[in-house]
Amino acid sequence: MASILIAEDEARISRFIEKGLRAAGFATQVTGNGSEALALAQTDEFDLLLLDVNLPGMDGFAVLEALRGTGSRLPIIILTARVEVQDTVAGLEGGADDYLGKPFRFDELLARIRLRMRRDEAGTESTVLQHGPLSLDIRTRQARVGDHAVELSAREFALAEEFIRNAGQVLSREQLLSRVWGYDFDPGSNVADVYVGYLRHKLGSNLIETVRGVGYRLSG
Ligand code: CA
């Protein structure tokens, strides 16, 4: 199981990331302190580091510089509220592999992580997820039902992926909102229901069951 170190001092955000990554099959560890993040990142126990810029103890750029200074090649994705180009460029020149501006959606973060992981261990993991007649290729973003290719928008694909990775489990509206839309999404929104409707329309009406009062489940 791939293991991800999350260096983020805002508990709301680290909880959101941790919950989502665990559901996606990753092991996780959270630290809210920069110096501790540096120490942990040097243990070889992690496959990727998510690194917030504004951290107590030691800021993210200093952690990055120190890590690269020791020759570490750990994949690093910078998480930053500072969307100014200068900071981003500094981060990438300092040896980060990628960055994500806050607020971000979970599916966006997951896509970046998977991309880094695949670059690291190319070809070791199948990129096709299958459940009954539904298959999703997470690399090419192609969806199929049986022999038929189906066009899905990025958000529809992310929602379908969430269902297929949790096949048989009931997913509540809140879970779907937090995993597919992000932590800043209004919990009262009905957008998840609307998108389940789109998926039923495109993938077949029987594929996603409504579990009354609880949520939705991929059938089968
Ligand atoms: Ca912070």
Domains and CATH numbers, the chain: 3-120 (3.40.50.2300), 128-218 (1.10.10.10)
Cα(34) to centroid of ligand 1, in Å? 10
How far, in Å, CA of 141 to CA of 194, rounded?
A: 21
**pLDDT, position 89:** 66
**pLDDT, position 214:** 92
Measured torsion, CA atoms of residues 175, 178, 180, 186, in degrees rounded to the nearest 10: 110
Strand order in the sheet with 215-218: 170-172, 215-218, 208-211
How far, in Å, CA of 54 to CA of 61, rounded?
A: 9
- Say whether pTM exceeds 0.75: no
Half-sphere exposure of 196 (CA within 13 A, CB side): 21
pLDDT in tens, 115-143: 888 765 554 456 788 999 999 988 778 89
Cα(147) to centroid of ligand 1, in Å? 47
**pLDDT, position 121:** 58
| In contact, 34 and 77? CB cutoff 8 Å | no
* Residues of the chain falling short of pLDDT 50: 123-124
From the list 145, 53, 155, the residue with the least C-alpha distance to 111 is: 155
Cα(167) to centroid of ligand 1, in Å? 34
**pLDDT, position 88:** 66
| In contact, 30 and 8? CB cutoff 8 Å | yes
Cα(122) to centroid of ligand 1, in Å? 32
**pLDDT, position 159:** 94
Scored b (16 or more CB within 10 A) or e, 150-166 reads bebeeebbbbbbbbbbb
Give the sign of the dihedral formed by CA 67, CA 68, CA 69, CA 72: positive
How far, in Å, CA of 31 to CA of 35, rounded?
A: 10
Contacts of 73 (CB under 8 A, 6+ apart): none
Cα(123) to centroid of ligand 1, in Å? 35
Cα(53) to centroid of ligand 1, in Å? 6
How far, in Å, CA of 150 to CA of 180, rounded?
A: 20
Cα(168) to centroid of ligand 1, in Å? 36
Cα(23) to centroid of ligand 1, in Å? 23
**pLDDT, position 95:** 80
